[in-house]
Structure 1
Amino acid sequence: MSVNKETARKAMEELLNQRDLTALDRHFAEDYIQHNPAIAEGRDGLRAMVPTLPDNFSYTMLRSFEDGDHVIALAVVSGFLPEGDAAVADVFRFENGRIAEHWDILQAYVPDDQTAIGNPMLS
């Protein structure tokens, strides 16, 4: 696994699952840019958001792809949407080995055996 892909995996595991706010200093650039409209800008926005996550929240990265300084991750998030799990596509831009910018797209997760055409959403 490439360094950036491994950093993205570690950052999300430590920050979201372990609720380790020191992960922000290790894995995110000082001038981190956030594109999720529900989260305030920068590392301080994440620092404020993480403690508000529900106790049953979890983030599971299933696969990741790298293109230059960008990593795209597909994940399942539990405990966030009232109707159940969510499928997430995260895009991270790296600078000097740290996450410098982040975008995400989230939608309700449909189990593989319940999709309209039989194709899985993430696997």
Structure 2
Amino acid sequence: MTRTTPEENKALVLDAFDTLFNKRNYAAAERYWSDSYIQHSAHIAPGREGLFELIRSLPGTLRYESQLIVAEGDYVMVHGRFSGNGRPAAWIAVDVIRFQDGKLAEHWDVLQEEATRAQSVSGLPMFGDRFPE
């Protein structure tokens, strides 16, 4: 059994997300996701292959960027943006990942479309310090 620290887990999540979402390197991404990966997202088919198939179905312009990442024990939460997803607005996400044996073993997320300046009642952007163009 491989034990990883919260700091190692944060680095692994960022590497894994970059490898899959930005580089679309599915063979390399397999080393990050457990063979028995559990997917709790209602919009993604079960397992690692369900996630990989979703990414394959999205435009090649998909881009992931993170803004905040926190970890405690075997869990990591990352606040990020998925742009170029083929939809009118980017997705702002909080992904929760549980690690087991040094791999992403379980996932939950909360997604919402990114608001424009005109849509934001607070007057503040949802991600970073600028509204989307």
* Kept after mapping to 2: 8 A contact 1:112/1:121: no
- Partner Cα distance (1:50, 1:73) in 2: 18
2: CA distance between counterparts of 1:110 and 1:52? Answer: 24
**Deviation (angstroms), 1:110:** 2.2
| Alignment match, 2:115 | 110
CA contact (8 A) 1:81 1:108 kept: no
Once superposed, which parts of structure 1, at least 4 consecutive aligned residues long, lie more than 3 Å away?
A: 111-114
Gap runs ≥5 in structure 1 = none
The size of the alignment, in residue pairs, is 123
Number of the residue aligned with 1:13: 18
What percent identity do the matched residue pairs reach?
A: 34
What is the root-mean-square deviation in Å for CA atoms of aligned residues?
A: 2.0
Rounded Cα–Cα distance in structure 1 between residues aligned with 2:125 and 2:55 = 29
Shift of 1:53: 1.3
Which has more radius of gyration? 2
Gaps in structure 2 of 5+ consecutive residues: 1-5, 129-133
After TM superposition, the score normalised by the length of structure 2 is: 0.82
Cα separation, 2, equivalents of 1:12 and 1:112: 28
Q: TM-score, normalised by structure 1?
A: 0.88
Instruction: Give the C-alpha shift of residue 82 in structure 1.
Output: 2.2
Q: 1:70 aligns with which of 67, 75, 80?
A: 75
Aligned mates of 2:91, 2:42 — CA distance in 1: 17
